Amino acid sequence: MVTQALILAGVGLMAGVLGALLGLGGGIIITPVLTLILGLPIQYAIAASIVAVIATSSGATIAYLKDEMLNLRVAMFLEIATTVGAVLGAILTGLFNANILYFLFGALLLFSVYNMIRKMLMKPENIKAPVPDKAAARLNLNGEYFDKSTNQLVNYQVTNVPGGFAMMFGAGLASGLLGIGSGAFKVLAMDTIMKMPLKPSTATSNLMMGVTAAASATVYFFNGSLQPQIAAPLAIGILIGATLGTRLMQIMPTKVLRWIFIPVIGYMGLQMLLKGFGVTIG
Amino acid sequence: MNQKIKQETKDIELIIGKILRVGVFVAAAVILAGLAMFLIEGTGGYPANAHPSRPAAIIQGAIALKPYAVLMVGLFLLILTPVLRVVVSIYAFFKEQDWLYTWITTAVLVILIGAMVIGYFG
């Protein structure tokens, strides 16, 4: 039991560092390691992972607040959608068969691989033409941020509020169901659908992750899925790991690292997908 | 964005930053204390594969300094950190007389409280 706690703290540390270096949340790394390598039940892994997401989100938000990048109103408004989705997801996790969860998680990992490749091949951000939007104006969602690389204040307008809101519900659902931060889906909703610039989208997504995760974490906490001996060492490990990871990010060749780890994540995704069908591969 | 909204947003963000920092620090300290107790005693203080998940059981266990109960308190504090952030935001929007966002943020808090009730009775 004590040995397991130490191993879990190590897993958290590694997930925190890797998550930061690869640009993924720690949650997406934790569940495959806990289930495939340590052989823990997937429901326990998901509940522990969502607590780790809160730990990383709170840590990251502290860093972003100083940068004045995030859009608090966009975060608050869209959290209505993500929290409802997250609670629903957490309830579904308790009802679903473990095989369904393995299958969904495997599919998610393969999607993340696709997303990582797409991001790395993407050209630098193009400035989006502002489209005036009535709902966005009424909700006071438009904002501005200071871009350090170009040294200028960027004003932006958001558009397609209902589309972003719907996508956020899906992001919350995935977060509660699979114990992930679902930052990729959140950024997709703000950046691709609502046409918010990438930098405030990323900062706002980080802030939202914590509140979204808190919604499903309380369900897991009170229904007994949250195992203290698993979640506690993981949370401490990931808190230290994520801090370390953000420091390392500045001195390590992250691009090379990402290319190295893409096949690893793809392989884990395939393993989980097959486990969903009852097939185990080495 | 007009000047008033800009200033009030800045104030709110500052308070939120402080709350997050204190919350994470306190939660981490309690979890570390619980882990230290667990490592020293070599047991969680509960029968195999059992842990307290009801508030009354957690409080009783924490008073008796059972490692798993202390860990649950720490984990709950960690979960509470973003919830506290929402509470502070409601107050801040209210103070700035931004009624629309006072309501929107209150809705988020109601959903979070609903999650606790669902977890507890579900």
The residue assigned the tokens 């506690």 is A232
Supply the ipTM of this predicted assembly. Answer: 0.88
* Cβ atoms A85, A175 nearer than 8 A: yes
Distance from CA of A260 to the nearest CA of B (A): 32
Interacting residues of A36 by C-beta distance below 8 A, sequence separation 6+: A268, A271, A272, A275
Q: Which 3 state secondary structure label does DSSP give A152?
A: strand
- Looking at the predicted structure, is the pLDDT value of residue A22 above 90? no
Tell if the CB–CB gap between B79 and A214 is shorter than 8 Å: yes
Total domains present in chain B = 1
Q: How far is CA A95 from CA A90, A166, A170, A207, in A?
A: 9, 23, 18, 29
* Cβ atoms A16, A26 nearer than 8 A: yes
Instruction: Report the pLDDT averaged over residues A44-65.
Output: 80
* Cβ atoms B25, B77 nearer than 8 A: no
Interacting residues of A273 by C-beta distance below 8 A, sequence separation 6+: A102, A103, A106, A107, A110
The answer to whether residue A281 is domain-embedded is no
User: Residue A196: exposed, middle, or buried by beta-carbon count in 10 A (0-12, 13-18, 19+)?
Assistant: buried
* Cβ atoms A44, B72 nearer than 8 A: no
Among B10, B111, B113, most A C-beta atoms within 10 A, so best to mutate, is: B111
Provide the total of helices (H) and of strands (E) in chain A, helices listed first: 11, 2
* Cβ atoms A219, A37 nearer than 8 A: no
User: A243 — contact with chain B (CB < 8 Å)?
Assistant: no
Instruction: Supply the pLDDT for residue A68.
Output: 65
- Looking at the predicted structure, is the pLDDT value of residue A21 above 80? no
Domain housing B46: 3-121
Number of other residues whose CB lies within 10 A of the CB of residue B44: 26
pLDDT tens per residue across span B3-48: 666 676 677 777 777 777 888 889 999 999 999 999 898 888 888 7
Residue-level length of chain B: 122
Indicate the pLDDT class of residue B73, thresholds 50, 70 and 90. very high
Interacting residues of A166 by C-beta distance below 8 A, sequence separation 6+: A81
Domain housing A31: 2-276
- Looking at the predicted structure, is the pLDDT value of residue B1 above 60? no
- Looking at the predicted structure, is the pLDDT value of residue A67 above 70? no
The answer to whether residue A28 is domain-embedded is yes
pLDDT tens per residue across span A136-150: 888 888 888 877 677
Instruction: Supply the pLDDT for residue A233.
Output: 94
Q: Which residues pair with A156 in a beta bridge?
A: A143
CA–CA separation, A123 and B37 (whole Å): 51
User: A1 — contact with chain B (CB < 8 Å)?
Assistant: yes
Distance of CA A134 to the CA centre of its chain: 30
Among A74, A219, A225, most B C-beta atoms within 10 A, so best to mutate, is: A219
Indicate the pLDDT class of residue A185, thresholds 50, 70 and 90. confident
Tell if the CB–CB gap between A73 and B89 is shorter than 8 Å: no
CA–CA separation, B61 and B44 (whole Å): 10
* Cβ atoms A56, A13 nearer than 8 A: no
* Cβ atoms A193, A169 nearer than 8 A: no
Tell if the CB–CB gap between B122 and A216 is shorter than 8 Å: no
Question: Which residue in A77, A143, A227 is closest to B51 by CB distance?
Answer: A227
Nearest to A33 by CA among A267, A194, A253, A210: A267
Over chain A, what is the mean pLDDT?
85
* Cβ atoms A220, B119 nearer than 8 A: yes
What DSSP string describes A231-250? HHHHHHHHHHHHHHHHHHHT
Instruction: Provide, as residue numbers in chain B, all residues whose Cβ is less than 8 Å from the Cβ of A13.
Output: none
- Looking at the predicted structure, is the pLDDT value of residue A270 above 60? yes
User: A66 — contact with chain B (CB < 8 Å)?
Assistant: yes
Distance from CA of B76 to the nearest CA of A (A): 8
Instruction: Supply the pLDDT for residue B112.
Output: 95
Question: Which residue in A9, A76, A228 is closest to B104 by CB distance?
Answer: A76
Indicate the pLDDT class of residue A131, thresholds 50, 70 and 90. low
Q: How many CA atoms lie within 13 A of A178 on its CB side?
A: 30
Indicate the pLDDT class of residue A19, thresholds 50, 70 and 90. confident
The answer to whether residue A282 is domain-embedded is no
Instruction: Supply the pLDDT for residue A65.
Output: 59
Distance of CA A105 to the CA centre of its chain: 13
- Looking at the predicted structure, is the pLDDT value of residue A100 above 80? yes
Instruction: Supply the pLDDT for residue A60.
Output: 64
Among B81, B89, B106, most A C-beta atoms within 10 A, so best to mutate, is: B81
Instruction: Provide, as residue numbers in chain A, all residues whose Cβ is less than 8 Å from the Cβ of B82.
Output: 54, 57-58, 210-211, 213-214
- A 160-199 near B (Cβ less than 8 A): none
Indicate the pLDDT class of residue A172, thresholds 50, 70 and 90. very high
Indicate the pLDDT class of residue B119, thresholds 50, 70 and 90. confident
State phi, psi for A145 to the nearest 5 degrees.
-150, 160
Instruction: Supply the pLDDT for residue B100.
Output: 94
pLDDT tens per residue across span A188-231: 889 888 988 888 888 888 888 889 999 999 999 998 899 999 99
Instruction: Report the pLDDT averaged over residues A18-44.
Output: 84
pLDDT tens per residue across span A237-254: 988 888 888 777 777 776
Nearest to A265 by CA among A92, A15, A72, A63: A15
